[in-house]
Amino acid sequence: MGTPVERRVVITGMGTVNPVGNTVDETWAALCAGKSGIGPITKFDTAPLATKIAGEVKGFDPLRYVEKKELRRLDDFIVYALACADMAMQDAGLAIDGSNAERVGTVVGSGIGGLRTIEKEHSVLEQSGPRRLSPFTIPAVLPNLAAGQISIRYGAKGPISCPVTACAAGTSAIGMSFRLIKDGYADAMITGGVEAAVSAFGIAGFNAMRALSTRNDEPEKASRPFDRNRDGFVMGDGGGILILEDLAHARRRGARIYAEICGFGCTADAYHMAAPPPGHEGAARSMEIALQSSGMEPAAVGYINAHGTATPLNDVYETQAIKRVFGEHSRRLAVSSTKSMTGHLLGGAGGLEAIVAVKALCEGIVPPTINLDEPDEGCDLDYVPHKAKPMTIEAALSNTFGFGGVNAVLVLRRHRD
């Protein structure tokens, strides 16, 4: 440890399960085609709820990734995490054995953890009493068990953690992993975010805050970032996991390199538990710090995968923050919110959206913001409405902001030797 050479961090594997696809390829094709993954909720009765729509994971076979017996003891957010990790590890071709186990870590974030298990087992507690609670309740509920189960499966014995920073959790995790590799604590990290909070409790809770869209009759049009007629976010399930690696380590084993992570910024609003402040200076500082740490000029950034939740406040304030950071260059940037198609995966968003930003860099395509029919007042950037846009991008940002005033931003760069 402690080589004097500045370590660089690259992405060598990716996996995702989300409302528009159960692999990276499926997801990328759907996003470029402007396909919505939002529909009526099928997993529970929505009759009493104001919101009856969400982005559920569809056509996903958990038994491809988890044994039947294991499945019973895991909450869905952990199953999604294991599936994403499986795809990412295969994609990276990274083998963990006695020689490197202690140098591979696992940091996977989740905003809420096993919400559906809490709901189910609380009903058991109320109806049948404490003796009928499953012994797997607690290990299914704890948010850090996504990282825990992944580390157990692959024998990854390096640093482990689980940021629980609400809707920024996935980005917090990737940022932490980036620093762990850069600072020499690990050579590779399995990292990202996952969520499975589409449940009666989750929907009712966010409904109580009036945070969710209630456009139940037009599910595919419900998530409308930056649009005048947006009425809140649409929840989604799933997430994304990436394999981060020290560049020299990746080169030594001849790994395929997708992109480089070169900056991370994290700030607090210190303002309100749920609302961003006007101008969202915390978000702006987070972007500025991420850029400074990357050593790149703001003008090198061609694309921002926005937080873009479609809540009334976020979209206007995020736009203001982008303008503050990029000045005139903000007019030349492409800024899109893929939440218009996937919905908002909460703690899973940062994992999925980092993958989207990497694909945009690799493929030279910016996925669109669908449903943006009439930009709201104050929303006057190029949000790539409706249709994907071919564009050579040198660097991209992934923005995620969470309740509690968390702002987390990644800077990703096209890989060059």
Partner 1 sequence: MSIEEKVIEIIVEQLDVTREECVPEASFIEDLGADSLDLVELIMAMEENFGIEISDEELQKIRTIQDAINYIKKKKGLAS
328 binds partner 1 (CB under 8 A): no
Q: Residue written as tokens 């929840």?
A: 235
Please enumerate in sequence order all residues whose Cβ is within 8 A of that of 358, keeping only pairs 6 or more positions apart, or say none: 11, 14, 242, 258, 259, 396, 412
Range in contact with partner 1 (rule: CB under 8 A) among 128-136, 143-151, 195-203, 239-247: 128-136
| Residue of 44, 136, 185, 201 that binds partner 1 (CB under 8 A) | 136
Cβ closest to partner 1, residue 35 vs residue 120 = 120
Q: How far is the CB of 146 from partner 1 (least distance, A)?
A: 18
73 binds partner 1 (CB under 8 A): yes
Closest C-alpha to 26, from 389, 257, 352: 352
Q: Please tell me which residue in 84, 167, 262, 266 is annotated as part of the active site.
A: 167
Q: Within positions 88 to 117, which residues make up the interface with partner 1, using CB under 8 A?
A: none
Question: What gap in Å lies between CA 251 and CA 378, rounded to an integer?
Answer: 45
Question: What separation in angstroms does the CA of 51 have from each of 41, 203, 222, 264, 307?
Answer: 9, 7, 11, 35, 21
Q: Residue written as tokens 């990746």?
A: 250
Range in contact with partner 1 (rule: CB under 8 A) among 12-20, 130-138, 145-153, 307-315: 130-138
**DSSP of 107-139, one letter per residue?**
EEE-SS-SHHHHHHHHHHHHHH-GGGS-TTHHH
Please enumerate in sequence order all residues whose Cβ is within 8 A of that of 175, keeping only pairs 6 or more positions apart, or say none: 264, 265, 266, 408, 410
Q: Residue written as tokens 């157990």?
A: 152
* Catalytic residue status for 262: no
Q: Sign of torsion, CA 242 167 318 404?
A: negative
Rounded to the nearest 10 degrees, the angle between the axes of helix 76-92 and helix 145-154 is 40
| Residue of 134, 207, 214, 216 that binds partner 1 (CB under 8 A) | 134
| Residue of 48, 59, 69, 377 that binds partner 1 (CB under 8 A) | 69
| Residue of 132, 252, 331, 387 that binds partner 1 (CB under 8 A) | 132
Q: How far is the CB of 61 from partner 1 (least distance, A)?
A: 17
Range in contact with partner 1 (rule: CB under 8 A) among 132-140, 157-165, 168-176, 362-370: 132-140
68 binds partner 1 (CB under 8 A): yes
Determine the size of the site formed for partner 1 (CB under 8 A): 10
* Catalytic residue status for 272: no
**DSSP of 276-333, one letter per residue?**
PPTT-HHHHHHHHHHHHHHT--GGGEEEEE------HHHHHHHHHHHHHHHGGGGGT-
Q: How far is the CB of 127 from partner 1 (least distance, A)?
A: 13
Closest C-alpha to 309, from 387, 200, 227, 191: 227
* Catalytic residue status for 84: no
| Residue of 129, 135, 254, 390 that binds partner 1 (CB under 8 A) | 135
Range in contact with partner 1 (rule: CB under 8 A) among 55-63, 129-137, 274-282, 294-302: 129-137
The total number of residues shown for the chain amounts to 417
2 binds partner 1 (CB under 8 A): no
Cβ closest to partner 1, residue 132 vs residue 387 = 132
Q: Name the site residues for partner 1 (rule: CB under 8 A).
A: 67-69, 73, 131-132, 134-136, 139
Q: Which residues are catalytic?
A: 167, 307, 344
